Amino acid sequence: MSGTLLVANGTVFGGALGQDDDRPVVIADGAVAWEDARIVAVGRQAEVRRGYPGARVLDARGGLILPGLVNLHHHFYSALARGLDPGTSLADFGQVLDRLWWRLDRALDAETIRVSAELALADCIRAGCTTVFDHHASPNAIPGSLDIIAEAADACSLSAVLCYEVTDRNGPAGAAAGLAENLRFIDATRGHRRIRGTLGLHASFTLRDETLAEAARRRPAEAGCHIHVAEDPLDVRYSQEQFGAGPVQRLQAHGLLDARSLLAHGIHLERAEYETIAAHDAVLIHNPESNANNGVGVLDVAGAADAGCTVGLGTDGMSGSILRALRLGVLMQRAARRDPGVGFEEIRRLLATNARVARRFFDEPQLGELTPGAPADVIVVDAPPPTPLETGNAVGHLLYGAADAPVRHTVARGRILLEDFRHVAVDLEALAARARRRAGPLWERFHALRWGTRFLGS
Ligand SMILES: [Zn+2]
Protein backbone atom coordinates (compact mmCIF):
# COMPACT_ATOMS: atom_id res chain seq x y z
CA MET A 1 0.00 0.00 0.00
CA SER A 2 1.50 3.35 -0.97
CA GLY A 3 1.88 5.92 1.76
CA THR A 4 2.53 3.34 4.44
CA LEU A 5 5.83 3.27 6.28
CA LEU A 6 7.02 0.75 8.77
CA VAL A 7 9.95 0.24 11.03
CA ALA A 8 10.85 -3.41 11.44
CA ASN A 9 13.48 -5.80 12.73
CA GLY A 10 13.69 -4.57 16.30
CA THR A 11 12.26 -5.09 19.76
CA VAL A 12 9.08 -3.07 20.13
CA PHE A 13 8.22 -1.49 23.45
CA GLY A 14 4.55 -1.66 22.59
CA GLY A 15 1.69 -0.13 24.41
CA ALA A 16 3.19 1.44 27.24
CA LEU A 17 6.04 3.66 28.09
CA GLY A 18 3.10 5.94 28.62
CA GLN A 19 1.01 3.81 30.95
CA ASP A 20 1.37 4.53 34.58
CA ASP A 21 0.17 1.21 35.89
CA ASP A 22 2.13 -1.11 33.68
CA ARG A 23 5.51 -1.84 32.16
CA PRO A 24 6.21 -1.75 28.44
CA VAL A 25 4.79 -4.72 26.55
CA VAL A 26 7.78 -6.13 24.76
CA ILE A 27 7.43 -7.60 21.26
CA ALA A 28 10.56 -9.35 20.02
CA ASP A 29 11.25 -9.33 16.28
CA GLY A 30 8.62 -6.64 15.98
CA ALA A 31 7.47 -3.85 13.71
CA VAL A 32 5.34 -0.70 13.75
CA ALA A 33 3.47 0.57 10.70
CA TRP A 34 1.94 4.00 10.13
CA GLU A 35 0.00 5.88 7.52
CA ASP A 36 0.17 9.65 7.39
CA ALA A 37 0.53 10.68 11.01
CA ARG A 38 -1.02 7.66 12.76
CA ILE A 39 0.09 4.19 13.73
CA VAL A 40 -1.93 1.48 12.01
CA ALA A 41 -0.26 -1.73 13.19
CA VAL A 42 2.06 -2.96 15.92
CA GLY A 43 3.18 -6.58 16.28
CA ARG A 44 5.51 -9.30 15.09
CA GLN A 45 7.26 -8.07 11.97
CA ALA A 46 6.21 -11.02 9.81
CA GLU A 47 2.54 -10.20 10.40
CA VAL A 48 2.92 -6.44 10.06
CA ARG A 49 4.92 -6.77 6.83
CA ARG A 50 2.31 -9.18 5.45
CA GLY A 51 -0.42 -6.63 6.14
CA TYR A 52 1.45 -3.84 4.32
CA PRO A 53 3.39 -5.47 1.48
CA GLY A 54 4.09 -2.25 -0.41
CA ALA A 55 5.24 -0.23 2.55
CA ARG A 56 8.59 1.50 2.72
CA VAL A 57 10.62 -0.20 5.46
CA LEU A 58 13.03 1.42 7.90
CA ASP A 59 15.38 -1.22 9.29
CA ALA A 60 15.78 -1.06 13.08
CA ARG A 61 18.80 -3.39 12.83
CA GLY A 62 17.90 -5.18 16.01
CA GLY A 63 17.51 -2.00 18.07
CA LEU A 64 14.76 -0.91 20.45
CA ILE A 65 11.62 0.53 18.86
CA LEU A 66 10.14 3.02 21.33
CA PRO A 67 7.45 5.68 21.33
CA GLY A 68 8.84 9.18 20.78
CA LEU A 69 9.99 10.59 24.11
CA VAL A 70 8.57 13.56 26.00
CA ASN A 71 10.63 16.28 27.73
CA LEU A 72 8.59 18.31 30.23
CA HIS A 73 11.08 21.14 30.88
CA HIS A 74 13.57 22.66 28.46
CA HIS A 75 15.07 26.07 27.62
CA PHE A 76 15.83 26.28 23.91
CA TYR A 77 17.25 29.77 24.37
CA SER A 78 20.29 28.39 26.18
CA ALA A 79 21.62 26.67 23.04
CA LEU A 80 24.10 29.42 22.17
CA ALA A 81 25.63 29.41 25.66
CA ARG A 82 27.84 26.45 24.84
CA GLY A 83 31.43 27.49 25.66
CA LEU A 84 30.40 30.97 26.83
CA ASP A 85 32.67 32.27 29.61
CA PRO A 86 30.71 34.70 31.78
CA GLY A 87 33.98 36.41 32.72
CA THR A 88 33.14 36.37 36.40
CA SER A 89 32.62 33.87 39.19
CA LEU A 90 29.35 31.98 39.61
CA ALA A 91 29.44 31.31 43.33
CA ASP A 92 25.81 30.48 43.99
CA PHE A 93 22.46 29.98 42.27
CA GLY A 94 21.63 33.69 42.37
CA GLN A 95 24.85 34.48 40.57
CA VAL A 96 24.29 31.73 38.00
CA LEU A 97 21.05 33.46 37.06
CA ASP A 98 22.19 37.05 37.37
CA ARG A 99 25.62 36.76 35.79
CA LEU A 100 24.92 34.11 33.15
CA TRP A 101 21.31 33.40 32.15
CA TRP A 102 19.84 36.84 32.77
CA ARG A 103 22.58 38.44 30.71
CA LEU A 104 22.19 35.89 27.95
CA ASP A 105 18.42 36.24 27.72
CA ARG A 106 18.66 40.05 27.61
CA ALA A 107 21.12 39.77 24.71
CA LEU A 108 18.77 37.62 22.59
CA ASP A 109 17.10 39.01 19.49
CA ALA A 110 14.74 37.47 16.95
CA GLU A 111 17.47 35.75 14.96
CA THR A 112 19.27 34.28 17.97
CA ILE A 113 15.94 33.06 19.36
CA ARG A 114 15.30 31.34 16.05
CA VAL A 115 18.69 29.70 15.66
CA SER A 116 18.74 28.64 19.34
CA ALA A 117 15.38 26.94 18.92
CA GLU A 118 16.52 25.20 15.73
CA LEU A 119 19.68 23.92 17.44
CA ALA A 120 17.79 22.68 20.49
CA LEU A 121 15.14 21.00 18.35
CA ALA A 122 17.81 19.27 16.26
CA ASP A 123 19.24 17.95 19.51
CA CYS A 124 15.78 16.72 20.57
CA ILE A 125 15.43 14.88 17.27
CA ARG A 126 18.84 13.27 17.68
CA ALA A 127 17.83 12.15 21.18
CA GLY A 128 14.45 10.75 20.09
CA CYS A 129 12.36 13.41 21.81
CA THR A 130 9.27 14.26 19.78
CA THR A 131 7.26 16.26 22.33
CA VAL A 132 8.92 19.05 24.27
CA PHE A 133 7.84 21.69 26.77
CA ASP A 134 9.92 24.87 26.47
CA HIS A 135 10.26 27.79 28.87
CA HIS A 136 11.45 30.90 27.03
CA ALA A 137 12.91 34.27 28.05
CA SER A 138 14.15 37.16 25.86
CA PRO A 139 13.35 40.41 27.74
CA ASN A 140 14.45 42.66 24.88
CA ALA A 141 12.57 40.70 22.21
CA ILE A 142 9.30 39.56 23.78
CA PRO A 143 6.43 40.15 21.31
CA GLY A 144 6.28 37.37 18.76
CA SER A 145 9.13 35.38 20.35
CA LEU A 146 6.90 32.34 20.90
CA ASP A 147 5.84 32.45 17.23
CA ILE A 148 9.48 32.18 16.19
CA ILE A 149 9.96 29.08 18.37
CA ALA A 150 6.67 27.59 17.22
CA GLU A 151 7.67 28.00 13.57
CA ALA A 152 10.89 26.12 14.25
CA ALA A 153 9.06 23.28 16.03
CA ASP A 154 6.34 23.16 13.40
CA ALA A 155 8.88 23.03 10.58
CA CYS A 156 10.22 19.73 11.89
CA SER A 157 6.83 18.28 12.88
CA LEU A 158 7.65 18.12 16.58
CA SER A 159 4.99 18.69 19.22
CA ALA A 160 5.65 21.57 21.59
CA VAL A 161 4.07 23.32 24.57
CA LEU A 162 5.58 26.81 24.72
CA CYS A 163 5.51 29.69 27.15
CA TYR A 164 7.22 32.97 27.94
CA GLU A 165 8.49 33.43 31.50
CA VAL A 166 6.65 36.28 33.20
CA THR A 167 8.90 37.99 35.75
CA ASP A 168 9.20 41.31 37.60
CA ARG A 169 12.98 41.37 37.40
CA ASN A 170 12.79 43.67 34.35
CA GLY A 171 10.16 45.99 35.81
CA PRO A 172 6.38 46.26 35.36
CA ALA A 173 6.54 46.81 31.60
CA GLY A 174 8.56 43.62 31.18
CA ALA A 175 6.10 41.65 33.28
CA ALA A 176 3.15 43.00 31.31
CA ALA A 177 4.80 42.26 27.98
CA GLY A 178 5.59 38.71 29.07
CA LEU A 179 2.02 38.08 30.15
CA ALA A 180 0.67 39.55 26.91
CA GLU A 181 2.93 37.29 24.86
CA ASN A 182 1.65 34.20 26.70
CA LEU A 183 -1.99 35.18 26.35
CA ARG A 184 -1.63 36.05 22.68
CA PHE A 185 0.13 32.78 21.94
CA ILE A 186 -2.28 30.62 23.96
CA ASP A 187 -5.10 32.12 21.94
CA ALA A 188 -3.32 31.86 18.59
CA THR A 189 -2.47 28.16 18.99
CA ARG A 190 -5.79 26.98 20.38
CA GLY A 191 -6.80 24.06 18.19
CA HIS A 192 -3.34 23.57 16.64
CA ARG A 193 -2.60 19.85 16.37
CA ARG A 194 0.95 19.92 17.70
CA ILE A 195 1.63 23.34 19.22
CA ARG A 196 0.15 24.67 22.44
CA GLY A 197 0.69 27.65 24.70
CA THR A 198 0.71 27.73 28.47
CA LEU A 199 1.31 30.49 31.03
CA GLY A 200 5.02 30.83 31.73
CA LEU A 201 6.11 32.20 35.09
CA HIS A 202 9.75 32.53 36.11
CA ALA A 203 9.79 31.72 39.84
CA SER A 204 8.19 32.92 43.04
CA PHE A 205 11.19 35.04 44.04
CA THR A 206 10.95 37.23 40.92
CA LEU A 207 7.15 37.60 40.90
CA ARG A 208 5.23 40.19 42.88
CA ASP A 209 1.80 39.33 44.25
CA GLU A 210 0.21 41.85 41.88
CA THR A 211 1.81 40.14 38.89
CA LEU A 212 0.76 36.66 40.03
CA ALA A 213 -2.78 37.91 40.63
CA GLU A 214 -2.98 39.53 37.20
CA ALA A 215 -1.58 36.43 35.49
CA ALA A 216 -4.02 34.18 37.35
CA ARG A 217 -6.95 36.45 36.55
CA ARG A 218 -6.24 36.63 32.82
CA ARG A 219 -5.07 33.04 32.30
CA PRO A 220 -7.53 30.92 30.32
CA ALA A 221 -8.63 28.13 32.64
CA GLU A 222 -7.38 25.36 30.37
CA ALA A 223 -3.94 26.86 29.79
CA GLY A 224 -2.12 25.71 32.92
CA CYS A 225 1.18 27.29 33.97
CA HIS A 226 4.86 26.40 33.89
CA ILE A 227 7.12 27.75 36.66
CA HIS A 228 10.35 27.06 38.54
CA VAL A 229 9.66 26.17 42.18
CA ALA A 230 12.18 25.77 45.02
CA GLU A 231 15.06 25.05 42.66
CA ASP A 232 17.35 26.58 45.27
CA PRO A 233 16.71 27.56 48.92
CA LEU A 234 16.90 31.15 47.65
CA ASP A 235 13.39 30.85 46.14
CA VAL A 236 11.88 29.65 49.41
CA ARG A 237 13.75 32.09 51.64
CA TYR A 238 13.15 35.17 49.49
CA SER A 239 9.45 34.34 48.99
CA GLN A 240 9.00 33.99 52.73
CA GLU A 241 10.82 37.25 53.43
CA GLN A 242 9.11 39.32 50.75
CA PHE A 243 5.63 37.80 50.67
CA GLY A 244 5.26 35.88 53.94
CA ALA A 245 4.60 32.63 52.10
CA GLY A 246 6.57 29.91 50.32
CA PRO A 247 6.34 29.38 46.56
CA VAL A 248 3.78 26.57 46.67
CA GLN A 249 1.60 28.44 49.12
CA ARG A 250 1.68 31.53 46.89
CA LEU A 251 0.69 29.57 43.80
CA GLN A 252 -2.13 27.95 45.73
CA ALA A 253 -3.33 31.30 47.09
CA HIS A 254 -3.49 32.71 43.56
CA GLY A 255 -5.36 29.70 42.17
CA LEU A 256 -2.43 28.66 40.01
CA LEU A 257 -2.25 25.00 41.04
CA ASP A 258 -4.14 22.52 38.90
CA ALA A 259 -3.58 19.47 36.70
CA ARG A 260 -1.86 21.58 34.04
CA SER A 261 0.50 23.29 36.47
CA LEU A 262 4.08 22.25 35.78
CA LEU A 263 6.43 22.93 38.68
CA ALA A 264 10.06 22.48 37.70
CA HIS A 265 12.47 21.24 40.39
CA GLY A 266 10.62 21.42 43.75
CA ILE A 267 13.76 20.36 45.61
CA HIS A 268 13.54 22.44 48.78
CA LEU A 269 9.98 21.79 49.93
CA GLU A 270 8.38 20.34 53.05
CA ARG A 271 6.19 17.26 52.97
CA ALA A 272 3.07 19.39 53.48
CA GLU A 273 3.95 21.33 50.33
CA TYR A 274 4.32 18.13 48.31
CA GLU A 275 0.92 17.12 49.64
CA THR A 276 -0.52 20.44 48.49
CA ILE A 277 0.91 19.90 45.01
CA ALA A 278 -0.55 16.38 45.01
CA ALA A 279 -3.96 17.56 46.22
CA HIS A 280 -4.22 19.80 43.15
CA ASP A 281 -2.88 17.09 40.82
CA ALA A 282 -0.13 19.49 39.74
CA VAL A 283 3.07 18.06 38.28
CA LEU A 284 6.56 18.21 39.72
CA ILE A 285 9.32 18.04 37.10
CA HIS A 286 12.64 16.51 38.06
CA ASN A 287 15.71 17.87 36.22
CA PRO A 288 18.65 15.86 37.54
CA GLU A 289 21.35 17.05 35.11
CA SER A 290 20.60 20.70 35.65
CA ASN A 291 20.34 20.30 39.43
CA ALA A 292 23.75 18.63 39.49
CA ASN A 293 25.23 21.29 37.19
CA ASN A 294 23.99 24.14 39.37
CA GLY A 295 24.79 22.40 42.64
CA VAL A 296 21.35 23.15 44.02
CA GLY A 297 20.57 19.80 45.66
CA VAL A 298 18.74 16.60 44.76
CA LEU A 299 14.98 16.17 44.64
CA ASP A 300 13.87 13.33 46.91
CA VAL A 301 11.82 11.66 44.17
CA ALA A 302 10.68 8.80 46.41
CA GLY A 303 9.64 11.23 49.14
CA ALA A 304 7.69 13.44 46.74
CA ALA A 305 6.00 10.39 45.22
CA ASP A 306 5.22 9.05 48.68
CA ALA A 307 3.47 12.34 49.45
CA GLY A 308 1.30 11.67 46.39
CA CYS A 309 3.04 13.91 43.86
CA THR A 310 3.03 13.21 40.16
CA VAL A 311 6.71 13.51 39.18
CA GLY A 312 7.88 13.88 35.58
CA LEU A 313 11.24 14.46 33.95
CA GLY A 314 12.93 17.34 32.13
CA THR A 315 16.38 18.41 30.95
CA ASP A 316 16.18 22.13 31.81
CA GLY A 317 18.31 23.27 28.89
CA MET A 318 21.11 20.79 29.54
CA SER A 319 20.46 18.54 26.53
CA GLY A 320 17.71 16.92 24.52
CA SER A 321 18.23 13.46 25.95
CA ILE A 322 15.50 12.42 28.30
CA LEU A 323 16.85 8.86 28.53
CA ARG A 324 20.19 10.15 29.77
CA ALA A 325 18.37 12.32 32.31
CA LEU A 326 16.46 9.23 33.40
CA ARG A 327 19.65 7.32 34.03
CA LEU A 328 21.29 10.16 35.94
CA GLY A 329 18.08 10.51 37.94
CA VAL A 330 18.48 7.00 39.31
CA LEU A 331 22.18 7.44 40.01
CA MET A 332 21.63 10.71 41.88
CA GLN A 333 18.92 9.20 44.08
CA ARG A 334 21.30 6.45 45.08
CA ALA A 335 24.23 8.80 45.61
CA ALA A 336 22.17 11.19 47.72
CA ARG A 337 20.75 8.45 49.94
CA ARG A 338 23.82 6.23 49.86
CA ASP A 339 21.40 3.42 49.09
CA PRO A 340 21.85 1.18 46.01
CA GLY A 341 18.26 -0.04 46.28
CA VAL A 342 16.48 3.29 45.98
CA GLY A 343 15.10 5.15 43.00
CA PHE A 344 14.50 2.50 40.36
CA GLU A 345 10.75 2.17 40.78
CA GLU A 346 10.15 5.89 41.19
CA ILE A 347 12.34 6.84 38.25
CA ARG A 348 10.78 4.09 36.13
CA ARG A 349 7.49 5.91 36.47
CA LEU A 350 8.87 9.22 35.23
CA LEU A 351 8.74 8.20 31.57
CA ALA A 352 5.16 7.09 32.02
CA THR A 353 4.30 10.35 33.72
CA ASN A 354 5.83 12.44 30.94
CA ALA A 355 3.51 10.96 28.32
CA ARG A 356 0.51 11.14 30.63
CA VAL A 357 1.18 14.83 31.36
CA ALA A 358 1.67 15.63 27.67
CA ARG A 359 -1.78 14.17 26.98
CA ARG A 360 -3.26 16.76 29.31
CA PHE A 361 -2.18 19.44 26.81
CA PHE A 362 -3.00 17.74 23.52
CA ASP A 363 -6.14 16.05 22.28
CA GLU A 364 -4.20 12.82 21.89
CA PRO A 365 -5.19 10.16 24.44
CA GLN A 366 -2.62 7.70 23.01
CA LEU A 367 0.33 10.09 22.80
CA GLY A 368 3.50 8.36 23.96
CA GLU A 369 2.57 4.78 23.23
CA LEU A 370 2.91 2.42 20.31
CA THR A 371 -0.62 1.25 19.63
CA PRO A 372 -2.86 1.49 16.56
CA GLY A 373 -4.46 4.92 16.44
CA ALA A 374 -1.67 6.64 18.36
CA PRO A 375 0.26 9.52 16.78
CA ALA A 376 3.14 8.11 14.75
CA ASP A 377 5.92 9.34 17.04
CA VAL A 378 8.35 6.43 16.80
CA ILE A 379 12.07 6.12 17.53
CA VAL A 380 14.67 3.41 17.25
CA VAL A 381 17.49 3.35 19.79
CA ASP A 382 20.60 1.52 18.62
CA ALA A 383 20.81 -0.81 21.59
CA PRO A 384 20.18 -4.37 20.37
CA PRO A 385 19.55 -6.36 23.56
CA PRO A 386 22.60 -8.50 24.44
CA THR A 387 20.68 -10.25 27.22
CA PRO A 388 17.10 -11.51 27.58
CA LEU A 389 14.63 -8.65 27.23
CA GLU A 390 11.06 -9.09 28.33
CA THR A 391 8.26 -7.02 29.75
CA GLY A 392 9.48 -7.38 33.33
CA ASN A 393 13.02 -6.08 32.78
CA ALA A 394 12.45 -3.60 29.96
CA VAL A 395 13.28 -0.54 32.03
CA GLY A 396 16.63 -2.09 32.97
CA HIS A 397 17.45 -2.21 29.26
CA LEU A 398 16.50 1.47 28.95
CA LEU A 399 18.59 2.61 31.91
CA TYR A 400 21.68 0.52 31.36
CA GLY A 401 21.58 0.19 27.56
CA ALA A 402 19.41 2.67 25.67
CA ALA A 403 20.33 5.68 27.83
CA ASP A 404 23.86 5.67 26.44
CA ALA A 405 23.08 4.45 22.92
CA PRO A 406 22.56 6.70 19.89
CA VAL A 407 19.14 7.04 18.32
CA ARG A 408 19.07 5.51 14.84
CA HIS A 409 15.69 6.72 13.57
CA THR A 410 13.32 9.43 14.77
CA VAL A 411 9.84 9.72 13.30
CA ALA A 412 7.47 12.50 14.38
CA ARG A 413 3.83 12.39 13.32
CA GLY A 414 4.78 9.97 10.57
CA ARG A 415 7.61 12.07 9.15
CA ILE A 416 11.14 10.70 9.20
CA LEU A 417 13.44 13.27 10.84
CA LEU A 418 16.46 11.12 11.61
CA GLU A 419 17.38 8.12 9.46
CA ASP A 420 20.35 5.92 10.22
CA PHE A 421 21.73 8.55 12.61
CA ARG A 422 21.55 11.32 10.00
CA HIS A 423 19.28 14.33 10.16
CA VAL A 424 16.85 14.35 7.25
CA ALA A 425 14.84 17.48 8.07
CA VAL A 426 17.77 19.59 9.33
CA ASP A 427 21.08 20.44 7.63
CA LEU A 428 23.10 20.29 10.83
CA GLU A 429 26.34 21.58 9.32
CA ALA A 430 24.64 24.60 7.77
CA LEU A 431 22.69 25.23 10.99
CA ALA A 432 25.88 25.13 13.07
CA ALA A 433 27.58 27.55 10.67
CA ARG A 434 24.61 29.92 10.87
CA ALA A 435 24.60 29.60 14.66
CA ARG A 436 28.32 30.45 14.90
CA ARG A 437 27.76 33.61 12.86
CA ARG A 438 25.05 34.68 15.33
CA ALA A 439 26.87 33.53 18.47
CA GLY A 440 29.78 35.97 18.13
CA PRO A 441 27.65 39.14 18.17
CA LEU A 442 25.39 37.59 20.83
CA TRP A 443 28.36 36.98 23.09
CA GLU A 444 29.58 40.54 22.49
CA ARG A 445 26.21 41.89 23.59
CA PHE A 446 26.34 39.53 26.58
CA HIS A 447 29.73 40.83 27.71
CA ALA A 448 28.61 44.43 27.35
CA LEU A 449 25.74 43.83 29.79
CA ARG A 450 26.23 44.40 33.49
CA TRP A 451 24.89 42.18 36.21
CA GLY A 452 23.30 43.04 39.54
CA THR A 453 19.65 42.52 38.62
CA ARG A 454 17.16 42.98 41.44
CA PHE A 455 14.86 39.99 41.71
CA LEU A 456 11.75 42.16 41.84
CA GLY A 457 12.90 44.94 39.54
CA SER A 458 13.70 48.40 40.87
ZN1 LIG B 1 14.31 25.73 33.95
pLDDT in tens, 278-308: 999 999 999 999 999 999 999 999 999 999 9
Cβ atoms of 354 and 72 within 8 Å: the answer is yes
Residues 197 and 250 in one domain: yes
Mean pLDDT of 356-383: 95
Q: What is the CATH number of the domain that holds 114?
A: 3.20.20.140
**Residue 257 Cα to ligand 1 middle (Å):** 18
**Residue 106 Cα to ligand 1 middle (Å):** 16
Last residue of a domain, one of 376, 394, 413: 413
**Residue 85 Cα to ligand 1 middle (Å):** 20
**Residue 317 Cα to ligand 1 middle (Å):** 7
**Cα separation of 311 and 352, whole Å?**
10
Mean pLDDT of 170-181: 97
112-153 pLDDT per residue, tens = 999 999 999 999 999 999 999 999 999 999 999 999 999 999
**Residue 73 Cα to ligand 1 middle (Å):** 6
For residue 175, what are the CA distances in angstroms to 17, 153, 167, 243? 38, 25, 5, 18
Last residue of a domain, one of 324, 340, 359: 359
Mean pLDDT of 35-59: 96
Does 221 have pLDDT greater than 90? no
- Report pLDDT for 19: 52
Q: Comparing C-alpha atoms, which of 44, 52, 32, 105 is closest to residue 409?
A: 32
**Residue 449 Cα to ligand 1 middle (Å):** 22
Residue 452 lies in a domain: no
Residues 128 and 246 in one domain: yes
**Residue 444 Cα to ligand 1 middle (Å):** 24
**Residue 11 Cα to ligand 1 middle (Å):** 34
**Residue 183 Cα to ligand 1 middle (Å):** 20
**Residue 450 Cα to ligand 1 middle (Å):** 22
**Cα separation of 309 and 449, whole Å?**
40
Cβ atoms of 69 and 418 within 8 Å: the answer is no
The residues, ordered by sequence, that sit 6+ positions from 388 with a Cβ below 8 Å of its Cβ are: none
Residues 106 and 142 in one domain: yes
Residues 62 and 81 in one domain: no
**Residue 40 Cα to ligand 1 middle (Å):** 37
**22 confidence band (pLDDT: 50, 70, 90):** low
Residue 163 lies in a domain: yes
438-447 pLDDT per residue, tens = 999 999 999 9
301-348 pLDDT per residue, tens = 999 999 999 999 999 999 999 999 999 999 999 999 999 988 887 777
**Residue 264 Cα to ligand 1 middle (Å):** 7
Among 15-24, 172-181, 287-296, name the one with the lowest average pLDDT.
Answer: 15-24
Residues 287 and 382 in one domain: no
Does 362 have pLDDT greater than 50? yes
Q: Comparing C-alpha atoms, which of 288, 286, 300 is closest to residue 337?
A: 300
- Report pLDDT for 16: 55
Residues 64 and 83 in one domain: no
The angle subtended at Cα 98 by Cα 92 and Cα 100, nearest 5°, is 90
Residues 284 and 344 in one domain: yes
Residues 390 and 346 in one domain: no
**Residue 390 Cα to ligand 1 middle (Å):** 35
**Residue 396 Cα to ligand 1 middle (Å):** 28
**Residue 98 Cα to ligand 1 middle (Å):** 14
Mean pLDDT of 209-221: 96
Residue 346 lies in a domain: yes
Residues 52 and 73 in one domain: no
Q: What is the CATH number of the domain that holds 47?
A: 2.30.40.10
The number of folded domains in the chain is 2
- Report pLDDT for 2: 47
Residues 317 and 181 in one domain: yes
87-117 pLDDT per residue, tens = 999 999 999 999 999 999 999 999 999 999 9
Residue 8 lies in a domain: yes
**Cα separation of 13 and 377, whole Å?**
13
**Residue 93 Cα to ligand 1 middle (Å):** 12
The residues, ordered by sequence, that sit 6+ positions from 31 with a Cβ below 8 Å of its Cβ are: 6, 7, 8, 9, 10, 12, 41, 42, 43, 44, 45, 48, 49, 65
- Report pLDDT for 23: 61
- Range of the structural domain that residue 350 is part of: 69-359
Residue 165 lies in a domain: yes
Residue 443 lies in a domain: no
**Residue 297 Cα to ligand 1 middle (Å):** 15
- Report pLDDT for 312: 96
At residue 329, what are phi and psi to the nearest 5 degrees? -55, -45
**Cα separation of 87 and 101, whole Å?**
13
Residue 21 lies in a domain: yes
Residue 427 lies in a domain: no
- Report pLDDT for 18: 46
**Residue 342 Cα to ligand 1 middle (Å):** 26
Which amino acid would we find at residue 337? R
Residues 237 and 165 in one domain: yes
**Residue 96 Cα to ligand 1 middle (Å):** 12
**Residue 288 Cα to ligand 1 middle (Å):** 11
Q: Please tell me what DSSP assigns to residue 99.
A: I
Q: What is the DSSP string of 240-303?
A: HHHHSS-HHHHHHHTT--STTEEEEE--S--HHHHHHHHHTT-EEEE-HHHHHHHT-----HHH
**Residue 78 Cα to ligand 1 middle (Å):** 10
Q: What is the DSSP string of 345-412?
A: HHHHHHHHHHHHHHHTTSS-TTTTS-STTSB--EEEES---SS---GGGHHHHHHHTGGGSPEEEEEE
Residues 50 and 155 in one domain: no
The residues, ordered by sequence, that sit 6+ positions from 176 with a Cβ below 8 Å of its Cβ are: none
